[in-house]
Copies of this chain bind each other. A is one copy, B any other.
């Protein structure tokens, strides 16, 4: 008010500069003696700008330290250049490894990653509702997280691309592994070594977040048995809440039974660690008296010499990031479903039965 009245504020109006008003495109335009349109063209590398003009504008941009406003560009273009990454249980090593991959590829593709750790099913609804809003994110990437059809529809209706990693959602572009085959691989390895009584330790199926990989690995475990003409003993299959503590308890119980198994296939390395601890407490030598196979090949697996089914965790994230990027940019035919290879890594936790 009174400020605009006094014209003699000083040379160049050098105010204390609060939260630093930044240079705008029109200031650049004025300083270079061109229109804002031209500056915009220069910024975006449009062809129809004379070389002389381009140079002049570029120089001014440099001198003034001009940077385009993300918000303004976004509003004009109708895009945010960011994608939402939904992950369950950030504490699980395998999830984190994937996330690292996602972050690295998304950053390389020029997208911001808005990461959301979801610990409860209800959260998903709120998050989806939020992200399905206008000008919110350019896409959504699911990490090991299932999504109900209602939410899928919400996303589709918002015109938002959706992709997934480690979740086999039909109709959602995804990068996955063949869990059944992995289960078969692990079990077959044990059988080839001569084991007959092989136990399975995995997640209870009625998990609130609907993880299904454990169940599918169990399917592979069964398939391997049938393929070799053996009948899997139901009493050797123990399911419980995910976590190494639960796995440990279940193993202890298993080992205390009359006719205990000579080998155990755990649905994840985390659970395999629980199995190993149980064996130790029970005074059993691994692998001499008990063989153990895990799944995932997280970092610690190598450290403890755990034989496991390796899946490319980091890479699955990288590919997931690229997948959602492709969808957002609409360039080329996106992969509808990509299956990553599995590999048995033989370490020191498995051997022929003593």
Contacts and interface: CB of A to CB of B under 8 A. Distances in A.
A116 interface: yes
A70 B19 contact: no
In the A-B complex, list the 9 residue pairs whose CB atoms are closest, starting with the nearest. A19-B159, A71-B135, A22-B134, A20-B159, A69-B135, A115-B115, A67-B133, A71-B75, A69-B134
A69 B158 CA distance: 13
A114 B91 CA distance: 18
Interface string A45-72: 0000000000000000000000111111
Interface stretch (A93-101, A144-152, A187-195): A93-101
B136 A70 contact: yes
A252 interface: no
Interface string A68-85: 111110110000101000
Copies, count: 2
A245 interface: yes
Interface in A100-137: 100, 103-104, 107, 112-117, 133-136
A323 to B, nearest CB: 18
Interface of A: 18-20, 22, 67-72, 74-75, 80, 82, 90-91, 93, 96-97, 99-100, 103-104, 107, 112-117, 133-136, 157-159, 244-245, 273-274, 277, 299, 303-304
Contact of A299 (B91, B96, B117, B277): B91
Given A71-B75, A90-B96, 8 more contacts: A20-B158, A70-B134, A82-B114, A90-B99, A100-B117, A104-B117, A113-B116, A277-B303
A134 B96 contact: no
